[in-house]
């Protein structure tokens, strides 16, 4: 690991912890929270906004020329530079709003088109997931790994419902129906970043979802892959940041089995 890569990771971890502390404060004061509906079934809170501003400030102070792509404040920094940060200041906003503690801060760095680090922080649980390309994945600085489950039969899956993409609901239901026949269970936790981290630490054996945003999944991709998992889009490629369609699995065998189904329903 180069000293520069270590510096990037340290800044990402610092930013995630600071943003997470803001979320924790507002989670303990939900009755005072200002909530606004951005679009149908899509909300933003005072916590999202303040968390992202704090994260941006830390990253831009350390690396002023780096591009930042955030959920709430869009794009800042050098438009065509080598370095792109993806920031989701609160992944799992609806959980957060209703007092459910499955949510977190998600931060990733892309260099020359490759995702090289990911950090996800669950502030209420005080769990920090981090990964640097080629260096493994960690939870609170202890190494984690995927379950290694090799087949759909008996697998424990996570997913997300495409509630903002009504045109693919029926397609999604077909994938859900197919996977549910052999699995021991499918859970919808409400935070793609946390779902991917739970695949990385072996709680879930795989996760799939349609039409996510880059900041939802960029960090989780690195964490799952560095934990030994396989992540692709629904065609088996690396276009998940553009399409938002993602499959992360605990082994190549399980990934291939699920991919055969998802290829038929790629939308």
Q: What's the mean pLDDT in 52-61?
A: 97
Measured between its terminal Cα atoms, the distance across the chain in Å is 38
Residue 112 has pLDDT above 60, yes or no: yes
Mean pLDDT to the nearest integer, 244-264: 97
pLDDT at 74: 74
Is pLDDT of 240 > 70? Answer: yes
Specify the CATH number for 3-144; select among 3.40.50.150, 3.30.540.10, 3.40.309.10, 3.30.460.10.
3.30.540.10
Q: Taking the C-alpha atoms of 264, 213, 192 and 241 in order, what is their torsion angle to the nearest 10 degrees? A: 60
Taking only the tens place, the pLDDT of each residue in 163-221 is 666 678 999 999 999 999 999 999 999 999 999 999 999 999 999 999 999 999 999 99
Distances (CA, A) of 266 to 39, 180, 260, 261, 262: 25, 18, 10, 9, 6
Q: How confident is the model at residue 239 (pLDDT cuts 50, 70, 90)?
A: very high
Q: What is the pLDDT of residue 167?
A: 79
Task: Give me the mean pLDDT over the 223-228 stretch.
Answer: 98
Q: Could you tell me the residue ranges of all domains in the chain?
A: 3-144, 156-264
| Whole-number pLDDT of residue 38 | 61
- pLDDT confidence bin for 41, thresholds 50/70/90: low
Q: Note the pLDDT of residue 81.
A: 79
Arithmetic mean of pLDDT over the chain:
93
Share above pLDDT 90 across residues of the chain, in percent, rounded to a whole number: 84
According to the model, what pLDDT value does residue 101 have?
96
- Does residue 145 carry a pLDDT above 80? yes
- Which pLDDT score is estimated for 158? 98
Give the range among 36-45, 61-70, 98-107 with minimum mean pLDDT. 36-45
* pLDDT at position 1 over 60: no
DSSP conformation letters of 154-173: T-EEEE---TT-GGGHHHHH
pLDDT, residue 250, reads 98
What is the model's pLDDT at position 251?
A: 98
What is the model's pLDDT at position 71? 82
- Collapsing DSSP states into helix, strand and coil, what is residue 235? coil
The answer to whether the CB of 115 falls within 8 A of the CB of 232 is no
If one compares 151 and 34, the residue with the highest pLDDT of the two is 151
- pTM assigned to the model: 0.95
Confidence of residue 39 (pLDDT cuts 50, 70, 90): low
Of 37 and 25, the one with more pLDDT:
25
Report the CATH architecture of 156-264: 3-Layer(aba) Sandwich (3.40)
State pLDDT tens for residues 66-101: 999 998 877 876 677 799 999 999 999 999 999 999
Q: Rounded to an integer, what distance in angstroms lies between the CA atom of residue 23 and that of residue 144?
A: 25
pLDDT of residue 22: 97
> What are residue 169's phi and psi, to 5 degrees?
-60, -45
Q: What's the per-residue H, E or C state across 83-119?
A: EEEEEEEEECHHHHHCCCCCCEEEEEEEECCEEEEEE
Helices 252-264 and 169-180, interaxial angle, to 10°? 140
């Amino acid at each position: 690991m180069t000293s520069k890569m270590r510096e990037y990771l340290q800044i990402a971890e610092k930013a995630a912890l600071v943003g997470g502390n803001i979320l924790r404060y507002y989670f303990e004061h939900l009755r005072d929270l200002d909530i606004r509906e951005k679009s149908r079934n899509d909300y933003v809170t005072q916590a999202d906004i303040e968390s992202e501003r704090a994260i941006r400030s830390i990253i831009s102070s350390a690396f002023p020329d780096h591009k930042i792509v955030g959920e709430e404040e869009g794009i800042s920094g050098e438009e065509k530079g080598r370095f792109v940060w993806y920031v989701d200041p609160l992944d799992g906003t609806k959980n957060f709003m209703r007092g459910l503690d499955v949510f977190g801060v998600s931060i990733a760095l892309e260099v020359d088109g490759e995702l090289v680090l990911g950090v996800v922080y669950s502030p209420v649980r005080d769990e920090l997931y981090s990964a640097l390309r080629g260096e493994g994945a960690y939870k609170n600085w202890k190494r984690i790994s995927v379950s290694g489950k090799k087949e759909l039969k008996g697998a424990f899956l996570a997913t997300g419902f495409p509630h903002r993409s009504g045109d693919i609901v029926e397609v999604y239901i077909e994938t859900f129906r197919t996977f549910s026949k052999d699995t021991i269970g499918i859970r919808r936790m409400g935070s793609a970043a946390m779902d991917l981290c739970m695949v990385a630490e072996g709680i879930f054996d795989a996760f799939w979802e349609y039409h996510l945003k880059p900041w939802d999944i960029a960090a989780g991709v690195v964490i799952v892959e560095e934990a030994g998992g396989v992540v692709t889009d629904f065609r088996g490629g690396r276009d998940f940041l553009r399409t938002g369609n993602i499959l992360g699995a605990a082994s190549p065998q399980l990934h291939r089995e699920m991919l055969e189904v998802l290829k038929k329903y790629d939308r």
